[in-house]
Structure 1
Amino acid sequence: MTGIAVRAGGDFHAPNVDEELFPPALLFDGTPFEINRVVMVRLIAVVVLMLVFYIALRKPKVVPGKLQSLAEMGVTFVRDGIVYDMLGERIGKKYLPYIVTLFFGVLFMNLTGVTPFLNISGNALIGMPLVLAIATYIAFIYAGIREVGGLKFLKAALFPPGVPIVMYVLITPLELVNTFIVRPVSLALRLFLNLLVGHLLLVLAFSATWFFVGMLNAWSAIGIITFAGGMFMTLIELLVAVLQAYVFALLTTSYIQMAVSEEH
């Protein structure tokens, strides 16, 4: 179990945050292409995601099988429940591929946190959430420039209508920070912190279980409680994995919607 180790003398070794979040290199140590356990988990998530959709949709049938139905249900949920609902069909079609990819990418990265032998989310370190947030940042700026034009997009973002002219001295800097800095930063931090905290709680719960049950060889009351807590947190993390993917896709769509709002 990740985060738990036993010293040579059989003593309990508490989980170490540095070892958990910054594990030693597995491949290409000391190079820009260094791969550690967290990077490997991310690569596995991407490969599995690609395989699932390839197998599900490579030969679509009129009467779909179970995997095809599941994949189509997921895409339909994102399309109708998020993208078309907020952007409309005409504009939504343009950004649907990106948001579908974003939703399932975040979801599969999150699910690695409760996957046996992987045991850590690919989003539990800030790097991947930051990359995803930057991609969304580029997407909503691109959408605003493409749909309403660069000057109109900046005017709508920085000079909201209905505000007294003198107030723009205060409002415009705030809108600049909120739109172009706070949005991507908060998007990354929300995903990262949710998955990081969940991972640490799981490590603590199952580490305590290993100590009380594995090391003391007794199903003590405390050991049972920590094991039950770990199982409960696993279910919570499963819910969080789905919820955070939904929230990330929803906020991305919302930012695009605000960027193209003059088009509606």
Structure 2
Amino acid sequence: MLLVVLAAVLVFAFTYLAARPAAVVPGRLQFAGEYVYGFVRNGIARESIGSEHFMKFVPYLFALFLFVAVNNYFGLVPFIQYPPMSHFGFPLGLALLTWILYIGVGIGKHGFLGYLKHITIPSGVKGPVLAIIIPLEFLSNILVRPATLSLRLFANMFAGHLLLMLFAFGGEYLLFESTSLINGIAGVLSFVMFGAVTVLELLIMFLQAYVFTLLTATYLGESLADEH
């Protein structure tokens, strides 16, 4: 819980300090803030939601991306080394926020019954096959999405955390708790793997923040689309 609160404080501090100068020629911090904002605004929101509606969702998507990324990278910070998103409750909470948002947006545009029709009946599908399609689409788009959205983030962070612990503590034990030469060599290899997994986690932690935000934007775009 402390790490999640700290992540929120860090995101707020970064965005405030980056936006406060508002200089024509940005400094490094302002440039970094504008770069991340532009990445989310143009690379995620505009592409997934469309140019007509995307701007109203940029603040949420921008904050979501930064919040997930900061929490993920806590897993590599010395003396912390624990990503809160490896605890299932946190990604599930974020997924439920996204679920409420895209359901609410869809109902706001299409109406309650209109949204149910929009989300469960693909365009051009008619006839008896709808008896199969409608329950599957309802299950997939309404019930399963929060679970899959949260599980993807949770599983990657949890697995990466376990791998880092395995190679770090395994290498320490084999090098310093064993007198066997073979175990010593295995310990060195374990630390090499720890370094390799750490570099890989740097990429994965960014990608998971990106994918979570991208899927959120995609769901919003689908809710606002005229056809399913």
TM range (shorter): over 0.9
Query: Does the 8 Å contact 2:21/2:30 carry over to 1?
Result: no
Deviation per CA, 1:162-198: give whole Å up to 9, x if none.
2222122111111111011111110000000000000
Matches within 5 A, 1:46-65: 46-65=8-27
Matches within 5 A, 1:108-147: 108-147=70-109
1:198 matched to which residue of 2? 160
Which of 176, 184, 187 is matched with 2:138 structurally? 176
Question: d(CA) in 1 for partners of 2:123 and 2:129?
Answer: 11
Which of 189, 192, 196 is matched with 1:232 structurally? 196
Deviation per CA, 1:44-100: give whole Å up to 9, x if none.
222222222222222221111111101110010011011111222320011111111
Matches within 5 A, 1:57-136: 57-136=19-98
List gaps (5 residues or longer) in structure 1.
1-38
List gaps (5 residues or longer) in structure 2.
none
1:253 matched to which residue of 2? 217
Question: d(CA) in 1 for partners of 2:67 and 2:120?
Answer: 32
Deviation per CA, 1:209-259: give whole Å up to 9, x if none.
211234348893212111110111111111111000110011111111111
Deviation at 1:203, TM superposition (A): 0.3
Matches within 5 A, 1:142-157: 142-157=104-119
* TM-score normalised per structure 2: 0.93
The percentage of aligned residue pairs carrying the same residue is 36
Query: Does the 8 Å contact 1:148/1:263 carry over to 2?
Result: no
Query: Does the 8 Å contact 1:147/1:263 carry over to 2?
Result: no
Tell me the SS of whatever aligns to 2:52: helix
Question: d(CA) in 1 for partners of 2:55 and 2:112?
Answer: 21
Question: d(CA) in 1 for partners of 2:172 and 2:59?
Answer: 44
* TM-score normalised per structure 1: 0.81
Query: Does the 8 Å contact 1:130/1:188 carry over to 2?
Result: yes
Do residues 244 (structure 1) and 208 (structure 2) align?
yes
Cα gap change, 1:189 to 1:50, in 2 (>3 Å): same
